[in-house]
Structure 1
Amino acid sequence: MVDQRPPLSSVSDFVTWEPVLRLMLADDAERRAARTARLAGRVGRYGTSLAHRGRMSSTARTAVEDIQRALARGGVQEIAFRAEVHPDGRAALGLVWPTPVVEPASGYPDLGVLVLADGVLPEPWRRRPDPTIRAVPAPSADPELLERTLRERLPDSVGATEEEIAAAEARLGVTLSDEIKVLYRVTRVYAGEDFDFEEADRAGEAIGCEASGLEHLRSVDGTVRHPGWDLGAKRAVGGEPDAAVQSLAGSPGWIAFGSNGGDEFAVDLTPGPAGHFGQVILIDHEQSLGAELVADSLTDFVLGRMREERREHRGEDLPVVAGVGAGRLETIQAAAHPDLEVLTIGPGHGAPFSLAPLTDLPRLRTLTALPGTLADPLEVAGLSGLEFLELGAREWRLLLDAEAVPRSLKAAAVKVRDQDHLPVVAIANEILDLWDRPRIVQTLLSGDLGPAA
């Protein structure tokens, strides 16, 4: 269990938040219509998520800055809040304090994603490479040509010893390709205390990228590329039978040896079915999954013989990922493919959707359904392979009361939309209790903002 930071008394006062609530109620249509207004937002040490129109008043700006200074003094990164304001001015405010078991969501009204075990990641970021025992170097791989080329370009360079290369292999736990061994026999690029900027620049020009020293070779760790459950659970990667590069977030056989200043180049020792051992791939820093083939061999890479065709990233469409509802597929049956991994359900034009067609799908791992879109939320219990579930508060209430929450889950989210905000924390804590996780701390405050104008 992880200890939670105690609430900060300096911001646990309704008066502190009153200017912020008034700012967000400036266009007070709900209360003027004799309905309860529901507000949600976040204030962080370096920014805010506040729904309001027009410029922020000086009073509200001062209140926000005071809250931000209090968070900084207390070492708190961010605080979320939810409020209900009745037409007569009575207001209930809930301050939701940060906890390691909740990852922030991309939509500010939402509580965030409940992480139900330490260190768990969505399946694409856990995926390991398929065996590649039959993979061979490309016909263009020519260690002798590569060595001659590099020695011509780097006549005075000092290379690594066989013992140092063997030590790098032992550290990485892989057998390096003959080409990458040749590269480091010609030049170590730089080494520890003997770092030489000019030597590194010359090596980079000769190789074709900002090259790493032998001791800095590393495998690409897919967990580092994880964007968080809110985005990651809804992503998928394809597994085309003709792929040259395996659909992974990272691999022990992706050995990063250089960069273009942002993206990484790696020799691929675990290629796809149509790839070659030791091919060169690009890991895009703006992408969290997959890699792109840029050269069939390191020889090609150094000689500038790059792949001109670029394969588009695939996998985020049918049949692996699907959406049902207005503007997307019309029925659950249309999405129910054996390869389906991720399904998003939104409002449709007719009756709410039944999940019955999904029951026997072997790969379905993510289900997100907006509030009110499910005919029978208890049908979720029949989806035995779910690892991420996102539902509205009412749907979660039904699952909890029926003791039907799938125990296969690794993460979960409660969508609020137009439902009451304040009960969401209580529902989230019930979900966390099922996995014996630390509870979310919510400070409840009350005040009076006066009747609607």
Structure 2
Amino acid sequence: MSSLHDLTIWRPLLRLLHAAHADTLAAPGGHVSGQISPGAWSVPLPYRPPQPGRASLVSDNQDEFDAIGLITEALKKEGSEGVSFVVEAASAPDRVRLHLIEPSSSVEPGVATAHPGTLLLADRAQPEPVRRLPEPVPGAAPAASADVDLLRRTLRERLPDAVGASEEDIAAAEARLGVTLPPELRALYEVVRGRYEDWDDFRDPYDTIGCELFPLSEVYIADAASREVLWQFGAMDAVETGPEHAVQQLVGSPGWIVFGDNGGGDRIAVDLTPGPDGHVGQVIIIGHEENIGAGLVADSLTDMVVHRHFGGRPVPRVERPPLVAHVNHVSVPSVEAAAHPGLEVLSIGVWKKEPLGLAPVVGLPRLRTLCAYEGTLADPCEISRLTHLEYLRLPPAEWRVLLDAGAVPTGLLAAGIEARQQQDNPLHIIALANEILTLYGRPPITGVTVLEGAAS
């Protein structure tokens, strides 16, 4: 038996959960759920604040850390990425039933929840922004500031003890990347190869170059695959690059060559696929907390290194109908107001008026995502008329209406169930998810193990 399925390692956590949620677990249908991975967890236990006048310490919540530690050690031992759980009361007093839910190939992991994440309804399907490739920009050229000789000369003056990469090193990097290094980037590495062992012989080149320089062996292409984007986030984004943009607002590009870091996790890259107002070889920054887009740092490496330009250029504000519309009581006031031919994503949130109809967006050629809160749709079956949908996220009640009416759209690539964190039992949501998966011929969620024993 898997050590993860040994009730002994769960008993300390069950004891804490039972003490914190005794009334919930005693009520008919009461349950408590959570999720644990080797590096993080989401478990509904009360937080114990530190004593006044001092910072919080691990010891303030030591019993929780100890209980979770037994489970994370079992996860690491088995090489598991994580496990979700549901605790219910058993038939006998002071006993509980523990349901362990392991990852499924048909479901993306949920974020800090025991409920299923996105249901994957087609093999290897990706959100539209992830699939988007850069558009050609006729006439794009290097900036006037690009000066390979000046860049090389300045680097040698500022870093006289630097060790440059050999021709063999550069050729090996180009073969691995599948692209030829642009002239300025090649000149940079010809002067300073960026190996960490060289830093003992000359000062860290950050101040000279303007970023933490990667060794050639760590330079990589920031294409879409390099930026992990979950469906629930990617489906809610839209790629929009206007004539005023220097950088194409993509998830990634085969022309983004990452060569450094800003010291905070954001990547610095040379851009060979610029936007309409950009330059070939410009320097961009790819934010690690964002799913899409990049910002301009400098028009060229010469501009950044020699002239110390790091702020890019302001992007003019251009008013256009939004590709992503949020209809709710404080934003877009109606579905009619959101509708236009370019609309890609419609999200209906908190709504305090009569439920909304979807007729204004029926037939829109680019509408690929619909998300709606519970009770906001006058007739959920209208969704079947949105023939271009790729992603649909609805609460359980609305999914129930679609399933019972045979009105689930047939062309979906992925789907989400908008479950409430502790109110909706994950086991019920899994049953609903399996109905949707079965409808699309996908493997159901089967990795549920039931353990029963004393809570303490």
The answer to whether TM tops 0.5 is yes
Q: Partner of 1:428 in structure 2?
A: 433
Q: Once the two structures are aligned, what percentage of the paired residues are identical?
A: 45
Q: Distance in 2 between matches of 1:399 and 1:149?
A: 66
2:213 to 211, 214, 220: 211
* Aligned: 1:391 with 2:397: no
Is residue 22 of structure 1 aligned with residue 25 of structure 2? no
Shift of 1:223: 2.3
* CA-CA distance at 1:273 after TM superposition: 0.1
Structure-2 change in CA distance of 1:202 and 1:79 (3 Å): closer
Query: 1-side partners of 2:226 and 2:183: how far apart?
Result: 28
Q: Which moved more, 1:367-376 or 1:305-314?
A: 305-314
Contact 2:152–2:191, Cα closer than 8 Å, also in 1:
no
Q: In structure 1, how many angstroms separate the alpha carbons of the residues matched to 2:183 and 2:64? A: 64
Query: Is residue 250 of structure 2 the alignment partner of residue 252 of structure 1?
Result: no
Q: What is residue 198 of structure 2 aligned with on the other side?
A: 196
Q: Following TM superposition, by how much is the alpha carbon of 1:270 offset from its aligned partner in structure 2, in angstroms?
A: 0.6
Residue identity opposite 2:44 in structure 1: A
Residue 235 of structure 2 is aligned to residue 233 of structure 1: yes
Give TM-score, length-normalised by structure 2.
0.79
Matched, 1:42 2:35: yes
Q: Check whether the contact 2:99–2:451 (CA below 8 A) recurs between aligned residues.
A: yes
Structure 2 residue matching 1:80: 3-state secondary structure: strand
Counterpart in the other structure of 1:80:
84
SS of aligned partner of 2:410: coil
Alignment of 1:349-364 (within 5 A): 349-364=352-367
TM-fit CA distance, 1:127: 1.5
AA at the equivalent of 1:432: L
Matches within 5 A, 1:50-129: 50-53=43-46, 71=75, 74-82=78-86, 94-106=99-111, 108=113, 110-129=115-134
Q: Does structure 2 retain, via aligned residues, the 8 Å contact 1:263–1:282?
A: yes
TM-score (norm 1): 0.80
In the other structure, the counterpart of 1:336 is 339
Give, in whole Å, the separation in 1 of the partners of 2:69 and 2:215. 46
Moved more, 161-170 or 119-128: 161-170
Distance 1:263 1:76, change over 3 A: closer
The one-letter amino acid of 2:326's match is G
Residue of structure 2 equivalent to 1:130: 135
1:280 lines up with 2:283 in the alignment: yes
- What is the CA–CA distance in structure 2 between the aligned matches of 1:214 and 1:60, rounded to whole Å? 44
Instruction: Return the alpha-carbon distance in structure 2 between the equivalents of residues 63 and 85 of structure 1.
Output: 20
Q: Is the 8 A contact 2:106 2:121 kept in 1?
A: yes
Q: Please say if residues 42 and 108 of structure 1, whose CA atoms lie closer than 8 Å, have aligned partners that are also in contact.
A: yes
- Looking at structure 1, the residues matched to 317 and 232 of structure 2 have their Cα atoms a distance apart, in angstroms, of 20
Deviations 1:330-360 (A, max 9, x none): 3111111323222221242222221222222
CA–CA separation in structure 2 for the residues paired with 1:54 and 1:172: 48
Question: Tell me, which stretches of 5 or more residues in structure 1 are unaligned?
Answer: none
SS at match of 1:247: coil
1:442 aligns with 448
Q: Deviations over 1:190-231 (max 9, x none)?
A: 579xx6334674655543333234454321132232242233
Which of 153, 175, 182 lines up with 2:158 in the alignment? 153
1:226-285 CA-partner distances (Å, limit 9, x unpaired): 242233322334322210001112111111222233322211111000001111111222
Distance 1:285 1:72, change over 3 A: closer
Q: Is the contact between residue 19 and residue 59 of structure 1 (CA under 8 Å) also seen in structure 2?
A: no
- Partner Cα distance (2:172, 2:13) in 1: 59
Partner of 1:348: 351
- Alpha carbons of structure 1 residues 270 and 346: separation in structure 2 relative to 1, 3 Å: same
Task: Tell me the distance in 1 between the aligned counterparts of 2:181 and 2:62.
Answer: 62
Greater displacement, 333-342 / 430-439: 430-439
How far the C-alpha of 1:405 sits from its partner, in A, is 2.5
Q: Which residue of 2 aligns with 1:143?
A: 148
Q: 1:279 to 1:200 in 2, by over 3 A?
A: farther
Does residue 372 (structure 1) correspond to residue 375 (structure 2)? The answer is: yes
- Of 168, 180, 183 in structure 1, the residue corresponding to residue 188 of structure 2 is 183
SS in 2 for 1:102: coil
Q: Which amino acid aligns with 2:234?
A: G
The answer (yes or no) to whether the contact 1:189–1:199 under 8 Å persists in 2 is: no
Aligned mates of 2:235, 2:403 — CA distance in 1? 22
Aligned: 1:324 with 2:330: no
Q: Which moved more, 1:274-283 or 1:109-118?
A: 109-118
Conserved 8 A contact 2:195-2:214: no
Unaligned runs of 5+ in 2: 49-59
Distance 2:246 2:15 in 1: 57
Is the partner of 2:35 in helix, strand or coil? strand
Distance 1:422 1:446, change over 3 A: farther
Q: Compute the displacement of 1:394 (Å).
A: 2.3
Deviation at 1:300, TM superposition (A): 0.8
Give the SS at the match of 2:232: helix
Counterpart AA for 2:140: A
Instruction: State the SS of the aligned residue for 1:280.
Output: strand
Aligned-residue RMSD, C-alpha: 4.1
Shift of 1:67: 5.2
Report the counterpart of residue 224 of structure 1 in structure 2. 226
Q: 1:314 deviation in Å? A: 9.3
SS of the equivalent of 2:255 reads strand
* Conserved? CA contact 1:26–1:52, under 8 Å: no
SS of aligned partner of 1:429: helix
